[in-house]
Structure 1
């Protein structure tokens, strides 16, 4: 609750100081320095102003309590639910806008309605010798002062709410393991912030002076003709137009580097570690862009190191497997080369070809879990021993599933697990058939079979190239995918001819 209490105190302090400065400072100075008042009239207006302030503060306090009730409810809980945390988090992000609405709503009306009503009564009872026209000018001045006050309170509240947001994020991560973010929700547009801020900052002094000047001229009964009002309107129009155009140019100047940084971050997020933003700026954005480029370069370097580590891992695992059986040395590398040929002829994209090679290198990694007495047996295997051998695709997939990061291993698992499935559904471990067998499994099955047939074994000599291709031809559509097997046969037949 301490964070909420500090937040509440800071908001109230900002509000009281801002309201006092706006109403009693700007408004009071505007009224009491512009008008010529008697002592009695001065006292009456002071009373009206203080009474109106009391009504304004009371009404504003009611709405303030309504708007902060969500925070009080959240911080009073020992362990808030994820739904309450999300609700409070988004409420906090939009709290500065609610502050603006309070000032332009109950704040403005709570001051102006009582003030105008009491002033009208005082004028009708002859306690004030002011024309009713001044009430119209006073209402315009109140809107100006309230707008300026709202802009200031918006930025002060934005700063004050940040510790609350940080606390909600940390508690939600600790209690529910979820990171709260506004990334996919509606933001408060920076364009609106700049345009409205610049508009009020640029035109507030001008318009306030125009109102004061109007009161002063009216009070002095100075002759004001149509040409004066044409001139005054023209000057005001120029001032407002300049403020609007200046806000537009300021936003565009900020928007360009922001868009470039955002585009660069999108490139990094989608896997392009070569992303770079050109540094064309001489302000603080130059430091941001330099930091982004440094970050992108570090990510690229780390990604290159990770790729090298993974490649080294694949090669080491394949070599370790081949070292267990000197008669199959080089089998994994040859299967990887054959699989790559089939993948290229089948038109697989580059990224899939990279993954296919890795899967082919590790397709027999599960044989690490097969006892030597079975794996290295020179005689024909018994049915029980063959059942043990048939477990190696599942063992291999289970081994790779434990390697982190899982995202890097996941695309390889189908090739390792299903390279002994048959196209007719009589293979193992799951008796998948046809194109239900993942494409990596179907490709590696062809490559593995060809290398197994053409390699020497302790109990037999390897087949000739022609005989192995003939067996593949005969097994199309039953043991192997007919399209992939045909691609490989054609490629290897052309090689033998050449």
Structure 2
């Protein structure tokens, strides 16, 4: 509760400072001029002010208690829930805006409404000698004072909440290991904040001058009073229009670089480390943009190094696997190359091609769990030995599931498990049919079969490329996906610059 009490003290101090600045600077000038007006019954006016002040204070205290209730409730709990911490964190961020609503609501109308009603009643009873239009002047002055106070209160509260926000965020980290934040949520946009602030700063002094002049001319009985509002309204209209234009231009000049950085940040979040924010500014945003671009450049360099390390990791695993069998050395790398050939022909995006390459490199990783006596056997396998070999796709999936981080390996698992499935459903380990076989499994099946047929083994020599191609062509739609098998055939004959036999062409 210590942090909460310190926070309340800051708010009370800020409220007093804002009240002094607004009431004494603005209200004092207005009241000093108003004292020279021909008003009777000042003692009763004092009663009106006291009663109105009590009403205002009561309403404002009730509103303030309601605004800080979620925050106070958080500090009263011995073990607050994560939702309570998050709700309080958001409510703290809303306090500057709520302070404006509190001052322009209960604060203003809690004072003005009772004062106007009581003054009208006292005038009717003859207890106060006051022209009725003076009440309008007083109401205008009250609105002006409240507006100035609200502007000051907003920025003072905005600073006062910082220590409490840090404390609540640390509370979430300490209790639940979660860093509480708005996570990009905008409570008050910069554009709106700048527009309203600049507009208020430009308009309020102008209204204050017009109001004070009106009171002064009335008090002195000046003959200029008759024509006063003709030129005063013109000045007010010009001032409001100019302040509105200035506020809009100022907010736009701030919003543009922020929007530029937001766009670049969104691209970085999506994994684009080549993006750069446009450095078109000569103020502090130039320094901010420059820092952002240097940061992204560093991330891009680190990403390239990580990608090289990761690719080296996959290639090393594949090489370690191939090293068990000198007769099939390089098999995984060749299967990856053939798979990429098919993937590019199928129009896969860069991200998918990268995943396909990694999947192909590790497609036989499950053979690590197969005994050497079976894996390296020179002759034909027995049925029992072949059943052991058939376990390697599922075993490879289980091995990769144990690699951390899990989410990095997850996209590779379907292709590793399914690269021995057949398009007609007679493959293993799951007997999947057609398009039920994962995409990477269907692609790698073609590449794996071609390399297996063309590689030398202890018990046989690799078959000629043309014969292996013929087998691939004959197996379209039965053993292999016809679409990916045809892409491989097209790529083979295109690379060899040979005319494709008519029987190998895709059916129209």
Q: State the TM-score, normalizing by the size of structure 2.
A: 0.90
Q: For the residues of structure 1 that align with 2:496 and 2:250, how far apart are their CA atoms?
A: 71
Cα drift, residue 224 of structure 1: 3.1
Aligned partner of 2:15 in structure 1 is 15
Distance in 2, matches of 1:189 and 1:277, equals 21
Partner Cα separation in structure 1 for residue 429 and residue 449 of structure 2: 17
Displacement, 1:247? 0.7
Structure 2 distance, partners of 1:225, 1:42, is 25
2:252 aligns to what? 252
Query: Would you say 1:454 and 2:480 are equivalent positions?
Result: no
Question: Cα RMSD between the aligned structures?
Answer: 2.6
Corresponding position of 1:379: 379
Q: 1:452 to 1:164 in 2, by over 3 A?
A: same
Structure 1 Cα separation of the partners of residues 429 and 216 of structure 2: 96
Cα distance in 1 between the residues matched to 2:116 and 2:27: 14
| Alpha carbons of structure 1 residues 101 and 223: separation in structure 2 relative to 1, 3 Å | same
In structure 2, distance between residues paired with 1:266 and 1:309: 26
Q: Which structure 2 residue ranges, 5 or more long, are not aligned?
A: 499-508
1:2 aligned to 2:2? Answer: yes
Q: In the alignment, is the contact (CA less than 8 A) between 1:134 and 1:215 conserved in 2? A: no
Are 1:203 and 1:240, in contact at CA under 8 Å, matched by a contact in 2?
Answer: yes
Contact 2:40 / 2:129 at 8 angstroms: preserved in 1? no
Tell which deviates more after alignment, 83-92 or 253-262: 83-92
Once the two structures are superposed, what CA deviation does each residue of 1:197-240 show, in whole Å capped at 9, x if it has no partner? 22222122221121121112112221136543211211222222
Q: CA deviation at 1:30?
A: 1.8
Using the TM superposition, give the Cα deviation of residue 436 of structure 1 relative to its aligned residue in structure 2, in angstroms: 0.8
Aligned to 2:143: 143
Instruction: Map 1:75-86 to 2 at 5 A.
Output: 75-86=75-86
2:33 and 2:216 in contact (8 A); partners too: no
Shift of 1:121: 5.6
Rate the CA distance shift 1:342–1:120 in 2: closer, same or farther, 3 A. Answer: closer
Pick closer, same or farther for the CA change 1:409–1:28 going to 2, 3 Å: same
Alignment partner, residue 153 of structure 1: 153
1:237 maps onto 2:237 in alignment: yes
How do residues 347-496 of structure 1 correspond to structure 2 at under 5 angstroms?
347-493=347-493
* d(CA) in 2 for partners of 1:467, 1:435: 27
Which residue of structure 2 aligns with residue 310 of structure 1? Answer: 310
Return the offset for 1:474: 3.2
| Distance across 2 between alignment mates of 1:225 and 1:141 | 18
State the distance in 2 between where 1:218 and 1:497 align.
101
Distance 1:125 1:474 in 2: 110
Which deviates further from its counterpart, 184-193 or 433-442? 184-193
Shift of 1:408: 3.8
C-alpha distance in 2 between matches for 1:446 and 1:92:
60
Which segments of 5 or more consecutive residues in structure 1 lack a partner in the other structure? none
8 Å CA contact 1:35–1:215 kept in 2: the answer is no
2:504 is matched with: none
Structure 1 position 333, deviation (Å): 1.8
Q: Who is 2:35 aligned against?
A: 35
Q: Aligned residue for 2:319?
A: 319
Structure 1 match to 2:63: 63
User: Match of 1:222?
Assistant: 222
Residue 112 of structure 1: how far off its partner (Å): 1.9
Shift of 1:395: 2.5
**C-alpha distance 346-282 of structure 1, shift in aligned 2 (>3 A):** closer
Deviation (angstroms), 1:254: 0.6
For residues 240 and 256 of structure 1, what CA distance do their matches in structure 2 show? 24
State the partner residue of 2:328.
Answer: 328
Residues 163 and 61 of structure 1, relative CA distance in 2, 3 Å threshold: same
1:74-101 Cα shifts (integer Å, max 9, x gaps): 2212333343334333322222222211
Distance, in Å, in 2 between the alignment partners of 1:124 and 1:423 is 97
Aligned residues, how many? 498
- 1:316-374 deviation per Cα after TM superposition (whole angstroms, max 9, x unaligned): 11211111111111211221222222222333233322322222122112212222222
Q: TM-score, normalised by structure 1?
A: 0.92
